[in-house]
């Protein structure tokens, strides 16, 4: 049996996943990070994107995260996500409405805070749509 990495994914609402995996790929702000057993310790901020869990050399599970942080330490990878959901739970029409609303909010933003919130909502909505359309692994 191949070595395993304990992967834990936590959202503000709940513990989403906690189990040994072969490998996990997470969407870091500077690019995707592949975590395997024995990985060098690191902490990374996450961009909105897809976490891919591998078993038996194949992508077994894809989970959307709306940003957060990941910590990798030897035999463990912990992700603290702002939001997490299975790709199958994403409602395309709802996301398209959210994207239109966020663009409208951006156009009508009155200050830096409102602009940043609208830009973040746009990035999350665009990443959700990309997650529905793209299967990288």
Tens digits of residue pLDDT in 112-134: 999 999 999 999 999 999 999 88
Q: Which residues contact 99 (CB under 8 A, 6 or more apart)?
A: 122, 125, 126, 129
Rounded to the nearest integer, the mean pLDDT of the chain is: 94
With cut-offs at 50, 70 and 90, classify the pLDDT of residue 137: low
Measured in residues, the chain has a length of 137
pLDDT above 90: residue 135 = no
Q: In Å, how far are 64, 103, 105 from 94, measured between CA atoms?
A: 15, 14, 16
Q: Which tokens hold the place of 114?
A: 């409102």
Of 39, 75, 40, 35, the C-alpha closest to 51 is 35
- Compare 121 and 2 and report the one with higher pLDDT: 121
Domain ranges in the chain are: 5-87, 91-133
Q: Which fold has domain 5-87?
A: ATP Synthase; domain 1 (2.60.15)
- Compare 74 and 28 and report the one with higher pLDDT: 28
Instruction: Tell how strand 84-86 and strand 76-81 pair up.
Output: unpaired
């Amino acid at each position: 049996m191949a070595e395993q990495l304990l992967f834990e994914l936590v959202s503000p609402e709940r513990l989403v996943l906690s189990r040994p995996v072969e490998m996990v790929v997470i969407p870091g702000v500077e690019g995707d990070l592949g975590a395997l057993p024995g990985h060098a310790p690191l902490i990374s901020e996450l961009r909105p994107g897809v976490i891919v869990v591998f078993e038996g050399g194949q992508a077994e599970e894809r989970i959307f995260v709306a940003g957060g942080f990941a910590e990798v330490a030897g035999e463990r990878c912990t992700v603290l996500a702002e939001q997490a959901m299975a790709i199958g739970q994403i409602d395309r029409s709802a996301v398209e409405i959210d994207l239109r609303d966020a663009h409208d909010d951006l156009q009508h933003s009155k200050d830096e805070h409102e602009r940043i919130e609208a830009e973040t909502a746009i990035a999350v909505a665009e990443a959700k749509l990309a997650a529905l359309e793209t299967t990288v692994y």
